[in-house]
Amino acid sequence: MSNTNAQDQITDLFIIGGGINGCGIARDAAGRGLSVALAEMNDLASATSSASTKLFHGGLRYLEYFEFRLVREALIEREVLLKAMPHISWPMRFVLPFHKDMRFDNTTPTSKLLTTIMPWMKGRRPAWLIRLGLFMYDSLGKRGILPGTSKLDLASDPAGRPLDPKFKTAFEYSDCWIEDARLVVLNARDAEARGAEIMTRTKVTGATRNADHWVIDLEDITTGETSQRRAKMLVNAGGPWVADVLRQKLGQNSRESVRLVRGSHIVVPKLYDHGRCYFFQGTDGRIIFAIPYEEDYTLIGTTDADHPDPQTAPTCTPEEQDYLINFASQYFANPLSRDDIVWTYSGVRPLYDDGASSATAATREYVLTLNDSAAPLLNVFGGKITTYRKLAEAALEKIATVFPDLPADWTAGVALPGGDFPVGDVAKLTAKLAQDYPFLSPYATRRLIRAYGTEAWDVLGQATTAADLGQDFGATITARELDWTIAHEWVRTGEDYLLRRTKLALRLSEEERAAVDTYIRSKAADLAA
């Protein structure tokens, strides 16, 4: 579509923000027949949506804040999402070690109440309280795929081997892994397949509200070219920038705001051989996870710290690194040091500002506000990755007041690209790919299925030898795959591919990463021309 034609048309819905909420809303709206355009000023999932702890989880600790509705919705969503994306999401078991002498700060509503009633607890979370919480966790949501809670004897179970011997007992429960940045890209791809226009590296510099439509000013951050679009309705899904967009770009006065909370993670070499995760409780009332990561590493996180503003890039500070190292070392038999860290990342969670006393206590509920005076505006505050699809449905309920007679909810159980196979069939699919492309290494075969699912065959095409895949960049990366992601997944830089579409930067040298970046930039420039 030419720029002139695009400016002359009036789109039903224009979405600002290419994170999980913006792309989830775009997919849902396009699937209901609305014309949709989405602008993201950087790469898709370039901020919060690629910096999560990589979990679809109900939020076990949110029970202590009495957020039962949020937990129930998230617990139910886990299995809905598993069925739609079995290549990028899968069940995991979480081990929660327990020690009777551990003490915790009385920081949550639950602990404060119990300490008031039973002052002798002195900050303990007794075994019965943990078991009660896990019983509620098992019971609040529907479980058809995920097994329930069990008790472990750490002296005999392999989960006890990497832990300090003082931990004798643990509880084990279920949640799910998710490749967060790929989830965003797959939602964007499905939205595009249903008619949405996805514009990356396109910044909204301003918008003017008219009686029946918005005029949106855009800038291509690569070329500097400017353009305008018109839309009947605007959706502000700017994530950490939602308040900035609302006030600075749209010129709207509002009391609604977000609380920016930085979550930092560290990655260390693999700490244990089994495939389960650990849920560790800290004496400050917080929790962290230790999770198998990219086959050869362990991911540890996250912190909760107030972040000053969205323009300040989040980084894992030395203090946060020490916090996570010291926290994990209270549990593992072999203490960690900062020298073990091979990578860190941080993201800013735009939580709805409910006036909570601490970042940890701030609500994880999402809030949608609709301003329908003249051309309507929908603002998205907060949210969590597990409930992104439900957030999109809630957004469409509000959008339906502007566009009546929209079709009903449709996304539950509808597969994302590459996810059109049964949960539990990853091994079968991997074996089939290995049979069809016997020249692939076992690691390459596993990685391609986990990244692309049934679309792995599209990526590899008619190749019959490794040479048919073109230049080998190391770590199983080939020119064929890079070309596919450039053409189909909006990849424009090495960082897009190596840190978001994959995490293969961990396996490459600086020179190899530079070679990938050079290749992608050259190919992307050819595509643009």
Q: Report pLDDT for 252.
A: 86
Q: Closest by alpha carbon to 273, among 384, 162, 367, 182?
A: 162
Q: Give 379-416 pLDDT, tens digit per residue.
A: 999 888 999 999 999 999 999 999 999 999 999 989 99
Report the C-alpha gap between 332 and 334 in whole angstroms: 5
Query: What pLDDT score does 119 carry?
Result: 43
What DSSP state is assigned to residue 99? -
**Average pLDDT, stretch 130-136?**
87
CA 356 → CA 70, 242, 286, distances in Å? 17, 19, 15
Q: What's the CA gap between 219 and 468, in Å, rounded?
A: 39
pTM above 0.75, yes or no: yes
* Axis-axis angle for helices 68-84, 127-140 (nearest 10): 60
Question: Can you tell me the distance from the alpha carbon of 522 to that of 525, in angstroms, rounded to the nearest whole number?
Answer: 5
Q: How many Å apart are CA 2 and CA 229, to the nearest integer?
A: 12
pLDDT of residue 103: 59
Q: In this predicted model, what pLDDT tens digit does every residue of 447-459 receive, in sequence order? A: 999 999 999 999 9
Question: In the predicted model, is pLDDT for residue 346 greater than 70?
Answer: yes
pLDDT of 164 > 70? The answer is yes
Q: Given a cut of 60, is residue 23 above it in pLDDT?
A: yes
The 10s digit of each residue's pLDDT in 212-261 is: 999 999 999 999 999 999 999 999 999 999 999 999 999 887 777 788 99
Go through the domains of the chain in sequence order and give each one's CATH number: 3-48+181-257+363-399 (3.50.50.60), 91-177+259-352 (3.30.9.10), 426-528 (1.10.8.870)
pLDDT of residue 101: 64
Task: Supply 205's token pair.
Answer: 């510099």
Query: What is the rounded average pLDDT of the residues 81-107?
Result: 85
User: What mean pLDDT comes out for the span 1-20?
Assistant: 79
Spatial distance between the Cα atoms of 107 and 84, rounded to a whole number of angstroms: 37
**Band of pLDDT at residue 120, cut at 50, 70 and 90:** very low
Percent residues over pLDDT 70 in the chain: 92
pLDDT at site 256: 75
Helix (H) or strand (E) run with residue 243 in it: helix 242-244
| 90: phi then psi, degrees, rounded to nearest 5 | -155, 155
Q: Residue 13: which residues within 8 A CB-CB, separation 6 or more?
A: 26, 29, 34, 35, 36, 37, 231, 232, 233, 234, 235, 399
CA distance 489 to 168: 47
Lowest average pLDDT, out of 301-310, 448-457, 469-478, goes to: 301-310
Which of these ranges, 35-44, 110-119, 250-259, 320-329, has the smallest mean pLDDT? 110-119
